[in-house]
Amino acid sequence: MAESLPRGPNILITGTPGTGKTTLGQELAGRNNLKYINIGEVAKENDLFEGFDEEYQCPLMDEDRVIDELEDTMVEGGNIVDYHGCEFFPERWFHLVIVLRTDNSILYERLEKRGYSGKKLQDNVQCEIFRTILDEALESYKENIVQELKSNTPEDMEENLEKISTWLNQLNAS
């Protein structure tokens, strides 16, 4: 099958769970009239799972089927995609990859509030300490489209919204 290029800009928002992807992604989509896509929700709605992760006690997402499900929408363009990983998406889908970063103590509190504890809480905070998702993004996409943004405070979020909207206007103009 020929691989089509998107007809408009798509943005990936990635980062460790709790860094603020969903909050930022939904606000960004609302302000810029873009479609917000939460990969976890897409998998759930369409039952795109393969097996079960015993260690984390959760179903394993079938990444290939998620990609097939989203291909047409992504080729249309105008999407904000939210997921805590980035290496399995086709590189051609995205014009901008945002990696949100949060200080360890703040992330710890947010995840604790979400009900995470024990190994799950520790693993996620460690993922942030080791900048795992940022490295994954830099390995998977051209460095010049990857942007690391701080996401500790509501002021950071507002700044990020403005920055990304500016980049989006530049993408739309090019």
- Give the binding range for ligand ADP (CB under 6 A) out of 11-19, 45-53, 73-81, 130-138: 11-19
Nearest CB to ligand ADP, comparing residues 6 and 43: 43
137 binds ligand ADP (CB under 6 A): no
9 binds ligand ADP (CB under 6 A): no
Q: Residues with Cβ < 8 Å from 136, sequence gap 6 or more?
A: 14, 85, 86, 87
- The beta strand positions in the chain, using DSSP E, are 10-14, 35-38, 49-53, 58-61, 79-82, 96-101, 146-150
154 binds ligand ADP (CB under 6 A): yes
CB of 13 to ligand ADP, least distance (A): 8
| CA trace torsion 56, 151, 131, 30 (10° rounding) | 70
Nearest CB to ligand ADP, comparing residues 16 and 140: 16
22 binds ligand ADP (CB under 6 A): yes
H or E element, residue 90: none
CA distance 70 to 80: 12
Binding site for ligand ADP (CB under 6 A): 15, 17-23, 110, 151-154, 156-157
